[in-house]
Every structure is written in C-alpha cells, then in structure tokens.
C-alpha cells in the first residue's frame, strides 16, 4: 500500500492571492480564482542522480540519457568515449546521446568513467488499451452515475468556477471532434514533443479516447458527457511510433510550463516476462530514474499525477503509476467487480469504471474501449472537479496531499474491508468528494 504524503507542501505565498492565473486559458471567474504555484514558468532543478539505470525491459536501440557532471562538456566527452554523439538537451539537466547499437550498457559504463553523473536507457512506453467492437455501444449512465455518482457531484459543481488545466500525455487528440472542440486548450506552443511541433493531431485514437472521458462537452446535445463537464484539456503528444523516456520528460516539462495542475498518464514502461509484453513496475525493482525525479519535482510544485495501473492482469502496478507520487487507478466493470485485465498490486490507490467505457473516437465518432487507460481519466476528472470547487471556495488550490487524502478517504470500499491489492482504497466517488467535510472540505 502506498505511503501517504502528509508533509506540508511548500507552495508559493501566491496561493493565497485572488488574482487570476497568469497562464491562459483564463478561468471563468477570474477575479475569484487563486494564483497557483504553476501560474508562471518555473526553473527546474537539475536532477540529483548518480550511477546507472537498469538496462532491462524495452528501450531505444543506440540511445542513452545522461546527466553530465558540472563543467563536463560534450566535446571533451566525445574525445574520451568513441561513438558518442549528442542528439538533444532535455529538461531537468539531462541529455539524449547516440551510441552504437548493441553497446548501450557498455557505453553507459564508459560515460560514467568519463565524468557523467548518471546514465540510463531511453526506455519505451506504450499506451494502455484494450479496444472493443466499435458498434457495441452502451449508455454511460450506469457507470458514471451508478458507480461514480457524477450527477450528484455535478449538482454541487460542474468545474466552471476555477477549472484547472488538465494535461493528457498521450497520442494526441482529434482537434476537430465536435464533442471536444469546446474543451481543448491549444496554445501557440509545442504540443507535440515527439515531433517538436505545435500540432498534437492524433493518428492512433488512444489520446482522443482518453480526452473524451475527461473533457467531452457535457449538456451540449452531442454524443457523450466528459467527467469535467467540459474543463480545460491540454493535449501533449508524447507518442509518435512509440513513447520514450525522453519524450515523457519533455511532456512533463511542457505541461508544467503551460500551467497544468493535473497530468494524466494512461501508459506504462514496457518489459517482457516469459516472452510476453507486460508493464514494468517499481514494485519489482524497475525504475526510470530520470522520469521518477521529474515527476517528484513537478508534484512538489503542486501538480497532481494520475496514472493507469496496467492491462496485463499482473499482480504489480505498472510504472509510472506505481510511484508514490502518482495516484494509481485500476479498472472495474459496470457491476463494480474487478476487470479481468486490470493490474493489481501494493501501490494501487483507487479503481474506476474501465470495462467498458464509451468515449470519443477519431473522425468525429464514438466507440467503446476497455482498459485502465480510461479508468485513469475518470479519476483525473474527479480531481479536476474537486480542485475547481475547492479553489472557488477557499481561494487556494488544494495540495497533491490534500487531493490524495480526499479521494482515498471518500472512496467506496470494495473487496476485503479497508485497503486491498485488487481495489486499493476502493471506487472513486465524485458525489462523496463534493460533499465531504472531513477530508475534502474540512
């Protein structure tokens, strides 16, 4: 079970001010919304890493990520280690290097000997998805209202007061989908960190589906209802052919710079067991150390991370959801029982509907999907609703610790009494979140 973060988060004193955020989009009620810790760009601290990451699991051939020691130039490095070339500088002080294919681990050792503080593979990530028959459609109401209690939550708040920006790090989004247009925030900035451009167009469909669960326009007479009723959705495309450590680092950095307060991660770091692709997990020793420390640093600045547990029916939660800084979400069926594919484990926090979920699809359509990828944005959406109501009433953003305590303490207990590895603290309950005066609105 995850250890809760009870320490007081050191936020800027600007939290107590009542001016609107300096980063667009402006809130609906700008005079009454707090300035948060991410209202203006902040400098990241270089990561404090030393040694070498594990060369296990899936990683990009012929590449490593490295953290240079102070004063070490790449020019001097090339003279000491043959076959090394700089590809790009990354956030958090890291650099992406080209090395000979098949020699990644050996070159990592050589780079450490030449003065690098830390070297790791450029790990590969996958979106977590189990697609279903697109013609088999069901109503959202049995799970969004019957399980999660969204209608009662919406009566309390539709997130219009001080809606936080929710970033989805995924395959992009269908920018022309009629049920998403009103929710998308597309600033004139890099939104596709995989290709380093401003166009986050989704050619896969996974990111569009996740976006619809979170922020499809609600009460507009079209298609489906998003959990946030239509809050601000910031799509950051981190997948091209595949996602990597480098792209996720850039995604976290860009989402933060653009003012995101919630980041959804419906993905996992890939490895193999018995010849089958599965999620790697920090529960069994896997870690993408650079990304872990980037997430930890972003969380310390007030950003809430929500992640999918994995779709491989493993007894461990996939990385990065397995990190204590990420709210890990598994999937349940419409009847509240665990979805057969949903990963369980000691770091699972909550469950939400995910078998099936109806959401937006490419080409202005809709379809059903199965997977923890779609449970995670339900929880991220509830987080956004809670943060909006809290900020409207308290003139300050709740800290990630407050968010975690609120959601876990109001969850509907499933399975054995108390926390358990199949359901975590239980089913997320939006209705309880909006009315609780003990953990959520003390």
Q: How many CA atoms lie within 13 A of 402 on its CB side?
A: 20
Cα separations in angstroms, 171 against 130, 194, 204, 351: 15, 9, 6, 23
99 phi/psi in degrees, rounded to 5: -135, 165
CB atoms within 10 A of CB 364: 14
Instruction: Check if 241 is active-site.
Output: no
Which residue in the list 183, 266, 281, 373 is annotated as catalytic? 373
In 3D space, the residue among 227, 264, 211 whose CA is nearest the CA of residue 149 turns out to be 227
In Å, what is the CA distance from 396 to each residue of 20, 35, 384?
11, 7, 14
Q: At residue 430, what are phi and psi to the nearest 5 degrees?
A: -65, -35
Q: Which of 206, 355, 388, 399 is catalytic?
A: 206
Residue 177 bears catalytic tag: no
**Three-state DSSP state, 313:** coil
CA distance 389 to 391: 6
Quick check: 352 and 322 in contact, CB under 8 A?
Answer: no
Strands 365-370 and 130-131: antiparallel
- Phi, psi angle pair for 243, to nearest 5°: -100, 150
Sign of CA dihedral 289, 294, 299, 300: positive
Altogether, the residues listed in the chain come to a count of 442
- Other Cβ atoms within 10 Å of 412 Cβ, number: 18
Please confirm, yes or no, whether 79 is among the known catalytic residues.
no
Non-local CB neighbours of 267 within 8 Å, separated by 6+ positions: 125, 126, 127, 128, 169, 170, 239, 243, 307, 308, 373
Residue 279 host element (H or E): strand 276-279
162 by Cβ neighbours in 10 Å (0-12 / 13-18 / 19+) ranks as buried
Distance CA 330, CA 349 (A): 8
Provide the phi-psi class of 345: left if phi over 0, else alpha when psi is between -120 and 50, else beta.
left
Cα-based distances in Å from 201 to 4, 206, 246, 363:
37, 12, 20, 12
Please tell me which residue in 170, 202, 288, 361 is annotated as part of the active site: 170
Catalytic residue IDs? 170, 206, 373
């Amino acid at each position: 079970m995850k250890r809760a973060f009870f320490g007081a988060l050191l936020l800027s004193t600007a939290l107590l001010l009542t001016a609107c955020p300096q980063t667009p989009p402006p809130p609906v009620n700008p005079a009454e919304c707090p300035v948060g810790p991410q209202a203006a760009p902040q400098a990241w601290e270089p990561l404090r890493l030393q040694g070498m990451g594990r060369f296990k699991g899936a990683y990009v051939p012929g590449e490593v990520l490295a953290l240079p020691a102070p004063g070490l130039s790449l020019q001097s490095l090339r003279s000491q280690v043959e076959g090394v070339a700089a590809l790009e500088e990354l956030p958090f002080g890291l650099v992406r290097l080209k090395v000979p294919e098949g020699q990644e681990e050996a070159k990592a050792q050589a780079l450490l000997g030449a003065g690098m503080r830390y070297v790791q593979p450029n790990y590969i990530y996958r979106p977590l998805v189990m697609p279903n028959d697109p013609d088999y459609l069901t109503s959202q109401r049995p799970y969004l209202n019957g399980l999660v209690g969204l209608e009662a939550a919406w009566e309390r708040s539709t997130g219009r007061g001080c809606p936080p920006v929710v970033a989805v790090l995924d395959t992009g989004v269908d920018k022309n989908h009629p049920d998403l247009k009103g929710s998308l925030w597309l600033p004139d900035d890099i939104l596709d960190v995989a290709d380093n451009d401003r166009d986050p167009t989704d050619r896969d469909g996974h990111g569009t589906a996740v976006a619809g669960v979170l922020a499809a326009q609600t009460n507009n007479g079209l298609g489906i209802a998003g959990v946030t009723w239509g809050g601000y959705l910031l799509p950051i495309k981190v997948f091209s052919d595949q996602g990597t450590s480098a792209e996720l680092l850039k995604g976290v950095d860009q989402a933060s710079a653009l003012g995101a307060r919630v980041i959804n991660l419906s993905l996992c770091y890939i490895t193999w067991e018995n010849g089958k692709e599965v999620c790697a997990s920090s529960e069994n020793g896997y870690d993408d150390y650079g990304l872990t420390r980037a997430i930890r640093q972003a969380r310390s600045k007030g950003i809430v991370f929500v992640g999918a547990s994995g779709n491989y029916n493993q007894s461990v939660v996939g990385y990065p959801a397995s990190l204590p800084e990420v709210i890990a979400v598994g999937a349940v069926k419409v009847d509240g029982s665990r979805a057969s594919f949903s990963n369980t484990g000691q770091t699972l926090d909550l469950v939400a509907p995910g078998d099936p979920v109806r959401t937006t699809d490419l080409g202005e359509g809709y379809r059903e999907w199965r997977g923890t990828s779609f449970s995670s944005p339900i929880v991220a959406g509830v987080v956004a609703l809670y943060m909006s109501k809290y900020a409207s009433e308290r003139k300050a953003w709740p800290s990630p610790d407050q968010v975690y305590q609120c959601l876990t303490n109001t969850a509907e207990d499933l399975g054995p009494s108390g926390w358990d590895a199949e359901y975590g603290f239980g089913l997320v309950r939006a209705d309880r979140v909006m009315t609780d005066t003990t953990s959520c609105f003390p």
